[in-house]
Structure 1
Amino acid sequence: MSSPVEGVSACSRLSPYLAWGAVSMREVTQANEARRRALPPANKTWRKSLRSFSGRLHWHCHFIQKLEDEPRVEFENLHRLYDDLRPRTPDVARLEAWEKGETGYPFLDACMRSLQATGWLNFRMRAMLMAVASYHLWLDWRAPGLHLARMFTDYEPGIHWSQVQMQSGTTGINTVRIYNPVKQGFDQDPTGTFIRTWLPELAQIPDQYLHEPWAADNAAEVIGRDYPERIFDHMAAAKAAREKIWEVRRRPEFRAQAEAIVIKHASRKNRSRRKAPAPKRSDQLSLPFGETS
């Protein structure tokens, strides 16, 4: 789920078939359980992986139910205090740069170009694309969400719009995750294989500077000519976004709405989560898998 290099072959790639009804959820679930039962107890790695896969199938249905229960998720912020957070009319130049994979951040752009060419991208990178659009570029989630919906061959409205709002921080109940596009590149594509595949214009940039080409000695020969300059400073943009998000979360009326959303939409796996906790900066802004912005 994390690496765009390994995800191409390691993920099941069944999502388009499920989305379009070419295969049923029942068939996939039964096949998965049959395979898990057939494995010897000593094969703990694959048994664990298949249990995780089964959990993802359950989440598939959970998110579809969210949209069926509250269709406005596709068009309105789930938590209404975020209604005026971002301009409804997107910055056209920033949106187009993001859509074309021309933001000046190689790993981010490689993910978008890969999606454009194949119609598929692994989960972590989908989340990063949406989060950068919402936080670093400060775009309202509707326009970027529509672009991704058009790109995904496995577009499923219930899953898609719930995830778009989750990665944009507008649900009011999910952890705010601001992905660092440079760090993600180092973590998920350390050798630069993925970037080299989708950004041939960076051929002259040495490997050690591939994730930050603006720092290369020959940057002036490539940046601004063959490859665009950065359209935002990822550190400054993340800091500004975090402060704006917390301006909303600190408002006294925020928690009441969040608790109502938890009761209606949160997972029932753990009943103790039915009451939304008071927002704590360390908890609500914890970043996944040790990421920093």
Structure 2
Amino acid sequence: MSHTTSLVWFRRDLRVHDNEALVEACAADNAVPVYCFDPRDYGTRPYGGSESFEFRKTGPHRLRFRLESVAALRDALRDHGTDLLVRVGRPEHVVPELATAVDADFVTMHTWPTTEELQVETAVKDALVEAGIDARRYWGHTLTHLDDLPMDYRDLPDTYTTFRNAVEQGVPMREPLHTPAIPSLPSDAPESGAIPDPSDLDPSFSADSELPAPPAKSVLPFDGGESAALERVESYIWDGDHLREYKQTRNGMLGADYSSKFSPWLNEGCLSPRYVQSEVERYEDARVKNDSTYWLTFELRWRDFFQFQFAKHGGDFFQQGGIRHRTDIDWRDDEAQFERWTAGETGIPFVDANMRELNETGYMSNRGRQNAASFLANNLRLDWRRGAAYFETQLVDYDPAVNYGNWAYIAGVGNDSRDRYFNINKQAKRYDPDAAYIKHWLPELDALPPASARAPWRLTPEERADYGVQLGVDYPEPMVELEASYEKLR
């Protein structure tokens, strides 16, 4: 029987558990694991398309997390007796060159449905085919497998509830795949290569730049890598026993455990959603099965929904008019207002607190994301794509389908036939009743009672003097009359 060699191209699947591309590559006599830092994912890039703008593709929070995750994958593979070849360059050049160098019989990879990832993947596949090397693609980042959907993905409903009902009615959820015995590298394999410094990827970093660690007041440190992911699952579900109350606490704003916070590891592929689901089911068998355990699965299905929607609609999601092709919204371009929003200086405390948390830590609660997005897209009517792109820069848990899908939804150009906006002060009163979250990120408002901390513009001159808060000096004047800005949305 002839000797075979495979190459497995790791992408956003930085784990050895439940990894079909890795499992299939391990059927060969030798396997060559490869990770490629694509220069197009870093630095300042044009958004593309009509009315383009420039933005930073990957900010320091996600870059730190990714570098840690790649290093952790290399350590895991070395523990299995092999190594990870790391390169900086375009994958459509790097992967075929390495595959040719090791005389690979086939290359395995996972596939994603979003435009940029699919374009790169297709270019890699075409180059491999031209070199006479078999390219094998696998779907492995959703709870429900693409092949198990109750209908062709192009016929899936565009509303989540209809999708969820269809999937819940008898669609099987596959068990996580085993972690395979990983074959050794070929004896003549190229050198493993160094994990790059930040300045090798983004020229805005100097050669001695250190990426910022999350501050002490961050909800979690978010250490990158598979081991950190599995430890978080263990800590949240089992040690802390937080899953039993997930539905009641998931809209919290402060603390490590109001929600699972699995998303950074899910989106970088350090954690498999099927593994999470298997732990939920194990918890239900061992401890309790209730609305909260169901609700974590419910949220994983939301993540699935956007992945399949992007497979269905493709690049339309990234257009200003979205999948609804709307032309009736007069999107504005006001750089000064946009910069105030990004800096957390809008004068609307609930928005500003969330934006400052995002800037300092790379994370923001789901509730915060909805309100910050609604303020930009609805109250200000600034181009929603710029807000989504800013989130792409900053979020440690950025996933293109989830991020742009949710932004389009809030902006009224995505998966909802209604115009939707959030009443920010009502949201702040409901989800931050004591203004503890606002004061955590806006300490200049610490002296104010909760109602005033949520709406400091309502303070009388006497109250401002008594509390020592001067608007326009200690904290910005609101950039819009919030209540009046809702009138055009009703």
- TM-score, normalisation: structure 2: 0.46
Match of 1:79 in 2: 324
Aligned with residue 219 of structure 1, among 464, 470, 488: 464
Q: How far apart in 2 are the matches of 1:173 and 1:188?
A: 24
Aligned with residue 137 of structure 1, among 360, 377, 380: 380
Aligned pairs for 1:1-293 (under 5 A) are 1-5=250-254, 8-39=256-287, 43=288, 47-72=290-315, 73-76=317-320, 77-80=322-325, 82-87=326-331, 90-171=333-414, 173-216=416-459, 217-219=462-464, 221-242=469-490
3-state secondary structure, aligned to 1:197: helix
Gaps of 5+ in 1: 243-293
Cα pair 1:2 1:125 within 8 Å, conserved: no
* Greater Cα shift, 29-38 or 215-224: 215-224
Q: CA deviation at 1:203?
A: 3.4
Q: How far apart in 2 are the matches of 1:23 and 1:208?
A: 40
Q: How far apart in 2 are the matches of 1:204 and 1:51?
A: 41
Q: CA deviation at 1:9?
A: 1.6
Q: CA separation of 1:172/1:162 partners in 2, compared to 1, >3 Å: closer, same or farther?
A: closer
Give per-residue Cα distances to partners, 1:3-59, cap 9 Å, x unaligned: 2125x42211110001001011221111111111222xxx5xx62101111111122
3-state secondary structure, aligned to 2:271: coil
Q: How far apart in 2 are the matches of 1:172 and 1:157?
A: 15
Q: How far apart in 2 are the matches of 1:223 and 1:114?
A: 21
Cα pair 1:135 1:168 within 8 Å, conserved: yes
Q: CA deviation at 1:170?
A: 1.2
Q: CA deviation at 1:70?
A: 1.9
Q: CA deviation at 1:68?
A: 2.2
Match of 1:258 in 2: none
Cα pair 2:313 2:323 within 8 Å, conserved: no
Q: CA deviation at 1:172?
A: 6.6
3-state secondary structure, aligned to 2:426: helix
RMSD: 1.9
Select the structure of larger CA radius of gyration. 2
Cα pair 2:439 2:446 within 8 Å, conserved: yes
Cα pair 1:205 1:218 within 8 Å, conserved: no
Q: How far apart in 2 are the matches of 1:126 and 1:213?
A: 22
Amino acid in structure 2 at the alignment position of 1:181: I
Give per-residue Cα distances to partners, 1:121-167, cap 9 Å, x unaligned: 22122111111111101112110110111121111111111111000
Q: How far apart in 2 are the matches of 1:36 and 1:47?
A: 8
Amino acid in structure 2 at the alignment position of 1:96: E
3-state secondary structure, aligned to 1:9: coil
3-state secondary structure, aligned to 2:476: coil
Amino acid in structure 1 at the alignment position of 2:346: T
Cα pair 1:204 1:222 within 8 Å, conserved: no
Cα pair 1:138 1:241 within 8 Å, conserved: no
Q: CA separation of 1:52/1:175 partners in 2, compared to 1, >3 Å: closer, same or farther?
A: farther
Q: CA separation of 1:172/1:20 partners in 2, compared to 1, >3 Å: closer, same or farther?
A: closer
Q: How far apart in 1 are the matches of 2:372 and 2:436?
A: 19
Q: CA separation of 1:59/1:208 partners in 2, compared to 1, >3 Å: closer, same or farther?
A: closer
Identity of aligned residues (%): 28
Q: CA deviation at 1:62?
A: 1.6
Amino acid in structure 1 at the alignment position of 2:257: S
- TM-score, normalisation: structure 1: 0.74
Amino acid in structure 1 at the alignment position of 2:374: A
Aligned length: 234
Gaps of 5+ in 2: 1-249
Point out the structure with the larger helix share.
1
3-state secondary structure, aligned to 1:31: helix
Q: CA deviation at 1:204?
A: 4.2
Q: How far apart in 2 are the matches of 1:204 and 1:50?
A: 39
Give per-residue Cα distances to partners, 1:50-84, cap 9 Å, x unaligned: 1111111122112111112222212342111x235
